[in-house]
């Protein structure tokens, strides 16, 4: 029995009974492409069996490194961009309390996890350095090449801080490099300086890398049980291995979102009712957007955090353009619950709720929103998860990874490349005067002027 459940019962108004079955042949073909390595981008599908086929020795080293970081550092600065940070940040928030990062050092059982190299904002870096202050810190720099602009700038800055604080020898012992197995600038530096290093597997693209050292080291350093994380993903790998739509809910989700896309529902909102899942939606947005947004087609991934965004986006969702579909990730058992107090005066009119729990109200809000949005012409799907723990997170990650992989093939694109990502970099290098990009820079400056 699946650990999480996919609810498509609210699609009756939008999808006919026969339509899912009509997708079976296409789903079977997509599954064959994915699992037999015959589809486009097959060289980057090693994530498919990653939960059960990974380097056990490196996994043990990850746990040892996390233990060392917890013992000697109050802060871990994780340097990376895109898939090199989103999964880890999503997991840290998902598995810890809403104010884990704001707690005093003595209140946490792990270092504060800060993320750098995901923007080029000087103010952000300045404020992070100020936040670290005189506390002991370590750095986990994550980059396949070691030359990506945003993380490379951040690494230079924090490496210099480490050296000034501890000296070169000790600083090198506080730097953990997650990079290519054999080549690249960061690998070369790690070997030369003696940084402890971990591998980004060749067959796993960045947005699918959270269950490699890319995500596992910072997740473990934050105090999570990565054995349970991988166990959840392994259970999902087994559960979602059958191409039969009647048995595979991840494939059902992939099929339904493609049916809706072809009916004009071109934007998908991933929604939650827990603030600690905001960054999970950011991870999902990269997974879906970078996998499917190609050849002038693809579902546009967006997100909303309820009930908060019902007071800002709710009007548009209810009555705006009818190109939206919604996928809710609903936690069935909250990590904590709070009972609403009683007051004799009842000035706020909440007497009818006193004695009830906030999660009871939150769940009724979810049910009410689903009914309202369906009536407004918005299809709603729900992924129910039992709780927010490591096993569930690993399971949920794999659910979306395999669903998006199949979904890309259903839409006739390569889900595992990202050619469009390079366009802005080429322009930026030209404008910055990077060697080899001078002609491009000259042409762009004329356009700007």
Q: Which residues are catalytic?
A: 290, 425
Inter-CA distances, 376 with 253, 322, 380, Å: 21, 9, 11
Nearest one of 204, 419, 417 to 291, comparing CA atoms: 417
What is the Cα 149 distance to its own chain's centre? Answer: 21
Q: How far apart are CA 33 and CA 217, in angstroms?
A: 32
Q: How far apart are CA 431 and CA 423, in angstroms?
A: 13
State the chain's maximal CA–CA distance in angstroms. 75
Q: How far apart are CA 21 and CA 234, in angstroms?
A: 28
What b-and-e string marks burial along 385-403, b requiring 16 or more CB atoms within 10 Å of the CB?
Answer: beebbbbbbbbbbbbbbbb
Exposed/middle/buried for 36, CB within 10 Å: 0-12, 13-18, 19+?
Answer: exposed
Q: How far apart are CA 336 and CA 356, in angstroms?
A: 14
């Amino acid at each position: 029995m699946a650990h999480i459940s996919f609810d498509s019962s609210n699609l009756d108004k939008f999808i006919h009974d026969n339509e899912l079955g009509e997708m079976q042949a296409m789903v079977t073909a997509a599954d064959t492409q994915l699992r037999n390595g015959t589809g486009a981008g097959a060289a980057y599908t090693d994530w498919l069996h990653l939960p059960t086929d990974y380097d056990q020795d490196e996994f043990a080293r990850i746990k040892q490194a996390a233990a060392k970081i917890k013992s000697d550092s109050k802060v871990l600065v994780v340097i990376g961009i895109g898939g090199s940070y989103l999964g880890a940040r999503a997991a840290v928030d998902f598995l810890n309390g809403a104010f884990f990062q704001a707690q005093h050092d003595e209140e946490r059982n792990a270092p504060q996890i800060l993320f750098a190299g995901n923007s080029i904002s000087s103010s952000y870096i300045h404020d992070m350095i100020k936040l670290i202050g005189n506390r002991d810190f370590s750095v986990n720099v994550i980059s396949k090449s070691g030359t990506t602009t945003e993380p490379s700038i951040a690494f230079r800055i924090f490496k210099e801080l480490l050296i000034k604080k501890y000296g070169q020898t000790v600083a090198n012992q506080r730097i953990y490099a997650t990079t290519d197995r054999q080549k690249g600038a960061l690998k070369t530096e790690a070997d030369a300086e003696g940084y402890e290093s971990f591998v980004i597997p060749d067959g796993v693209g960045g947005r699918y890398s959270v269950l490699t050292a890319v995500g596992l080291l910072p997740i473990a350093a934050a105090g999570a049980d990565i054995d349970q994380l991988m166990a959840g993903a392994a259970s999902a790998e087994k559960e979602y291995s059958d191409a039969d739509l009647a048995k595979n809910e991840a494939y059902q989700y992939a099929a339904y979102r493609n049916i809706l896309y072809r009916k004009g529902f071109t934007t998908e909102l991933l929604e939650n009712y827990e603030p600690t899942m905001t960054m999970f939606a950011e991870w999902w947005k990269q997974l879906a957007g970078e996998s499917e947004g190609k050849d002038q087609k693809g579902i546009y991934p967006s997100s909303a955090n309820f009930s908060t965004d019902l007071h800002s986006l709710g009007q548009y969702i209810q009555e705006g353009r009818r190109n939206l579909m919604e996928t809710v990730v609903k936690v069935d058992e909250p990590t904590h619950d709070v009972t609403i107090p009683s007051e004799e005066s009842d000035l706020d009119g909440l007497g009818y709720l006193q004695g009830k729990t906030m999660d009871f109200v939150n769940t009724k809000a979810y049910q009410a929103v689903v009914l309202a949005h369906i009536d407004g012409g918005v299809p709603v799907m729900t992924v129910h998860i039992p709780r927010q723990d490591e096993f569930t997170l690993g399971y949920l990650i794999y659910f979306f990874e395999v669903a998006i992989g199949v979904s890309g093939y259903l839409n006739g694109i390569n889900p595992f490349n990202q050619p469009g990502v390079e366009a802005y970099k080429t322009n930026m290098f030209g404008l910055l005067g990077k060697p080899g990009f001078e002609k491009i820079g000259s042409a762009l400056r004329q356009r700007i002027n």
